């Protein structure tokens, strides 16, 4: 049995297979997932697991050089934005409209669907390198 890190075998496999600049998405329970993109659904019920909880677990196992979020989060979900900003510098965070964000998710290796039910609680993580 795995001793530490992410126990979810699907998430663990995706992270192990990432290369520099590959992307994954962590999304709320309403984010549409494009056909052809691996869906890892970890939602249990509304709110569980939460977006920030999931983000923190993934960040413990993944080297991230930058992130992309929807600009609408500033107005409609400042609490989640604050949670994101605790983990990344201003220079690491880029913003797109929500429509453009959804188009970018089609390039992701996987989308992790959480139980989060707050608006615009979605993020694209761009893989960094550990050397």
List of domains in the chain: 9-127 (3.40.1650.10)
- What pLDDT is recorded for position 10? 98
Query: Is 57 annotated as a binding-site member?
Result: no
Of 10, 20, 87, 126, catalytic: 20
Catalytic status, residue 20: yes
Query: Is 35 annotated as a binding-site member?
Result: no
Using the predicted structure, report yes or no on whether residue 3 has a pLDDT greater than 90. Answer: no
pTM for the model: 0.97
Q: Are 4 and 90 in contact (CB under 8 A)?
A: no
pLDDT band at residue 1 under the 50/70/90 scheme:
confident
Count CB neighbours of 34 within 10 A. Answer: 15
Query: Is 98 annotated as a binding-site member?
Result: yes
For residue 110, give both structure tokens: 């996987």
High-pLDDT (> 70) share of the chain, %: 100
Count CB neighbours of 56 within 10 A. Answer: 13
- Strand, coil or helix: 26: strand
């Amino acid at each position: 049995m795995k001793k530490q890190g992410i126990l979810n075998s699907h998430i663990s496999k995706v992270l192990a297979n990432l290369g520099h600049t590959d992307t994954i998405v962590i999304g709320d329970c309403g984010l549409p997932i494009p056909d052809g993109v691996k869906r890892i659904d970890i939602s249990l019920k509304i709110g569980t697991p939460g977006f920030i909880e999931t983000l923190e677990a993934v960040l413990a196992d993944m080297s991230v050089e930058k992130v992309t979020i929807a600009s609408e989060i500033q107005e409609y979900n400042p609490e989640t934005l604050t949670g994101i900003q605790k983990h990344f510098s201003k220079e690491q965070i880029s913003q797109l409209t929500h429509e453009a964000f959804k188009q970018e998710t089609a390039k992701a290796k996987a989308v992790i669907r959480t139980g989060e039910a707050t608006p615009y609680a979605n993020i694209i993580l761009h893989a960094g390198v550990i050397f």
